[in-house]
A and B are shown apart, each in its own frame.
Chain A
């Protein structure tokens, strides 16, 4: 009897994943595979930036002014190692893009993570308890959504920049950006989780678990939450792209990452000033990178939304 379980081994998580409908749908979906490969490349190169990039763009001592505004390598006047040219300070564009993508991705992931934790937690509570808790939480969400995020971020980060000591300014600004984006996007998760929780908590399996005395916290986390995760997964993917875009917008407007810790948005803002002086490469290449990153994320998100939608199977 007792060795019966050991003979019939439980398939591991990995085995089950590669056997699932989701994996099969992914393999047969060319644009999803393409998007995933591109996204993986972008992420890997961004995080290997210190190894791959020809220059450390943060090291001011490495910048040489006679290298300023060099065009890309295939144009007349292009020089090694500046494959995509340099900006007005002699900073290598390719290196700037790699480091900038890394910052953009980190801020995107961090803001999605913060808003997921807040949104899932509050959504579960609102949906499970209902009543005034639900009313208060959801009205707070409505109010937050009705405030334009760009205005909030400008306000918060300009105040923060005034008060933060210079040593913490970069970290502080990044944290402010993350919180500003999260403040806006947790509401979406909370709404999705709340709606699903209200459906699930009436189901009989929740009743059965309540009957044996399972405390509310465990009911929410172990029974209800796993059954609300599918739409959250899709929303998180699409919001990751959105978070990167919002960050770029804020940085472009000058309230995001400072020029000495540039994100893609900052690079675009700096390059934008030299567009009409003929140095188009300073602004074009970071913009292309931003497009590639966001389009890849959104394509993956669209595929995921369709793949997880039971009506489209």
Chain B
């Protein structure tokens, strides 16, 4: 199996992956109240590849399925459909994945010493033979992420949010992964601390040759970090492009909406056109293109069928009828 994949193969290939959650009421309630089973398609039919040594970002609003993608890739959730494949890492075995979590307060067990938290992957996966080597490795990891060796004896509550995120990164590195899935690693932090963590992550990428799958709702953070961006809306990827292309020439109206929300440092008081509506409920998604109720350019056919993700430039793809056939005569304003 492994010799088929050359070294240039992408670190991660996600192929038509869907994830459906059963959110039905308990069985007894369903029987008594005659309620049907209820399903949510959190992620529907998404595909992307992440090249080795790059940073691939997924952006989108809350509830669009970004974190579900992260958990599917790490294996915390099983896919409903499609498959996720990893390239070959060191010594010919598949690439190892680890994850950095969003909330630095709940991602560290409050009753464990920091040294034990970081040593857990080493002990669990038996990466070191002796306890002495394990402790040596923990010290090395703490220094890699900019903490002191004696911090190993402290408890998580003795650290600030940024320091805890460093501990979290050290724990993720402890299992010697090649691909790090970062689920909004900076969104719980102050802006100044965000920058420190992002710089640390970039430095680690250079030093260790890591590949990142970076999940965020913050476009400025993403711009700083990534090579390639996918924009998600309601479980689907609506646009996917190299970072500069997406920022300078977004194709999908939703990407344009997202970019318009970034504060402009040159023109802070500029009028941002108020956008109608909120993201629809994934329990009851709109027909056709999920974005059509909010889309300023929606066509009649947008509410009937969903557009496929098609190439719009050499590396970019978008799922929008309007950008696909540029022969748009008259955009129809959406109701409401």
A residues lining the B interface (CB < 8 Å): 1-2, 4-5, 8, 10, 203-205, 207-214, 223, 226-227
A212:B103 contact, CB within 8 angstroms: no
Q: A204 and B103 in contact (CB under 8 A), knowing A8-B150, A212-B175?
A: yes
B128 to chain A, nearest CB (A): 14
Q: A1 and B101 in contact (CB under 8 A), knowing A8-B150, A213-B125?
A: no
B149:A205 contact, CB within 8 angstroms: no
Q: Does B124 contact A (CB under 8 A)?
A: yes
B171:A208 contact, CB within 8 angstroms: yes
B101:A204 contact, CB within 8 angstroms: yes
Nearest 9 pairs of A and B residues by beta carbon: A204-B107, A204-B101, A212-B121, A203-B106, A205-B109, A226-B111, A212-B124, A204-B106, A214-B124
The chain A residue with its CB closest to the CB of B135 is: A5
B94 to chain A, nearest CB (A): 14
Q: Does B134 contact A (CB under 8 A)?
A: no
Q: A212 and B106 in contact (CB under 8 A), knowing A4-B149, A207-B101?
A: no
Give 18 CB contacts A-B under 8 Å.
Answer: A1-B149, A2-B136, A4-B149, A5-B135, A203-B106, A204-B106, A205-B106, A207-B101, A207-B107, A208-B99, A208-B172, A209-B109, A209-B124, A213-B125, A214-B124, A223-B109, A226-B109, A226-B111
Chain A residue contacts of B71, Cβ below 8 A: 207
Q: Which of A2, A212, A214 has the most CB of B within 10 A?
A: A212
Q: What interface size band does chain B fall in? A: 20 to 34
The chain A residue with its CB closest to the CB of B181 is: A211
Q: Does B102 contact A (CB under 8 A)?
A: yes
B149:A211 contact, CB within 8 angstroms: no
Q: How far is the CA of A8 from the CA of B148 in the complex (A)?
A: 13
Q: How far is the CA of A204 from the CA of B120 in the complex (A)?
A: 15
Per-residue A-contact encoding for B54-78, CB less than 8 Å = 1, 0 else = 0000000000000000010011100
Q: CB within 8 Å of A: which of B222-274? A: none
Q: How far is the CA of A190 from the CA of B121 in the complex (A)?
A: 30
Chain A residue contacts of B97, Cβ below 8 A: 211
Residue from A10, A213, A227 within 8 A of B109 (CB atoms): A227
Chain A residue contacts of B117, Cβ below 8 A: 205
17 A-B pairs besides A211-B75, A227-B111 with CB distance below 8 A are: A1-B139, A2-B136, A4-B149, A4-B150, A204-B101, A204-B107, A205-B107, A205-B117, A207-B71, A207-B101, A209-B124, A210-B76, A211-B76, A212-B120, A212-B124, A212-B125, A213-B124
